[in-house]
Amino acid sequence: EIVLAQSPGTLSLSPGESATLSCRASQSVSSSYLAWYHQKPGQAPRLLIYGASRRATGIPDRFSGSGSGTDFTLTISRLEPEDFAVYYCHQYLSSPPRHIFGQGTRLEIK
Amino acid sequence: QITLKESGPTLVKPTQTLTLTCTFSGFSLDNGGEGVGWIRQSPGKALEWLALMYWDDEKRYSPSLENRLTVTRDTSKNQVVLTLTNVDHVDTGTYFCAYRDPWQLGTLTIWGPGTMVTVSS
The pLDDT of residue A106? 98
Q: Nearest residue on chain A to B39, judged by CA atoms? A: A99
CA distance B69 to B52: 11
Is A93 in CB contact (< 8 Å) with chain B? Answer: no
The pLDDT of residue B109? 97
Q: Which residues contact A30 (CB under 8 A, 6 or more apart)?
A: A91, A92, A94
The pLDDT of residue B13? 98
The pLDDT of residue A95? 82
The pLDDT of residue A94? 85
CA distance A20 to A7: 9
C-alpha closest to that of A83 among A64, A103, A108: A108
pLDDT mean across residues, chain A? 96
The pLDDT of residue A31? 96
Q: Nearest residue on chain B to A101, judged by CA atoms? A: B47
Please say if the pLDDT value at position B31 is more than 90: no
The pLDDT of residue A60? 97
Indicate yes or no: CB of B113 within 8 angstroms of CB of A43.
yes
The pLDDT of residue A52? 97
Helix residue spans in B1-121 (DSSP H): none
Which pLDDT band holds residue B15 (cuts at 50, 70, 90)? very high
At position A55, the amino acid (one-letter code) is R
Please say if the pLDDT value at position B87 is more than 90: yes
Q: Nearest residue on chain B to A50, judged by CA atoms? A: B107
- Asked if the peptide bond before residue B63 counts as cis, ω within 30 degrees of 0, the response is no
Q: What is the pLDDT of residues A46-97, one digit of tens each?
A: 999 999 999 999 999 999 999 999 999 999 999 999 999 999 999 999 888 8
H-helix or E-strand spanning residue A70: strand A63-76
In B29-92, the DSSP E strands lie at 35-41, 47-54, 59-61, 69-74, 79-84
CA distance A88 to A23: 9
Q: How far is B41 from chain A (nearest CA, A)?
A: 10
Q: Which residues from chain A sit within 8 angstroms of residue B50, using beta carbons?
A: none
Indicate yes or no: CB of A45 within 8 angstroms of CB of B111.
yes
What's the rounded mean pLDDT across residues B90-95?
A: 98
C-alpha closest to that of A90 among B6, B102, B39, B29: B39
Indicate yes or no: CB of B108 within 8 angstroms of CB of A90.
yes
Q: Which residues from chain B sit within 8 angstroms of residue A45, using beta carbons?
A: 47, 96, 111
